[in-house]
Amino acid sequence: GIERIKLSQTKDEIEIDNGNLKTELGSLSHKFDLLEQDRNRLSDLALHLETSKNNLEECLQNLDREKGDLNESYTLLGMEKEDILDNLEVSNREREKLGQTIVRMAKAREDLVKEKHELKEQLGMVEMKLDGALENNKRLTEEKGALEHKLHDTEQKLARVELHKDSLEREVEELGQLKEDLTVELASVNKEKEIQGVT
């Protein structure tokens, strides 16, 4: 009877232990699930970190490239700065030359204004001379007209004199012929007188 009691106690203890083990197993199973979840989260985090690491490495490579580009740009900017300084020096020299040219042009303009004034005065004198010459030309034209009128009158008078001369020449010719006729007639009369005297 005692052994049965002991066995019954032992069975009860075993059942209690079994219950405890089941509870502990349930607890462990829950912890395992939690750990599995943590592991999954950590795995995801590790993947995310790997991705982030890759992205960072790519960013670093890009930064290196950009740094190289910036260095090249910096070198080019340095060269451009030198070119700009050279161009600035050339521009300053050209500006100085332009300043001298402006001074020369201002002097030339001043000379031209003076020359223009002198030419204006000369033009005034020439215009006065031209007015005088026009006046003189007008007077000479009037005198020429008067002389042409006199010449026309003289030509008409000369024509009349020529006619009168021709008339006189004809009269002289006629008188000469008459003289010859009279001379012949006189000779004839004298001859007749002589014959009569002889008789």
pLDDT on residue 16: 84
Q: Among 24-28, 62-66, 91-95, 103-107, whose mean pLDDT is lowest?
A: 24-28
What pTM does this model have? 0.32
Annotate 155-191 with DSSP letters as a single string. Answer: HHHHHHHHHHHHHHHHHHHHHHHHHHHHHHHHHHHHH
Q: How far apart are CA 184 and CA 191, in angstroms?
A: 10
- Reported as a single tens digit per residue, the pLDDT across 107-156 is 999 999 999 999 999 999 999 999 999 999 999 999 999 999 999 999 99
pLDDT on residue 3: 67
Q: Place 11 in a pLDDT band, splitting at 50, 70 and 90.
A: confident
- Reported as a single tens digit per residue, the pLDDT across 35-94 is 999 999 999 999 999 999 999 999 999 999 999 999 999 999 999 999 999 999 999 999
CA 26 vs CA 21, 35, 39: distances in Å: 8, 14, 19
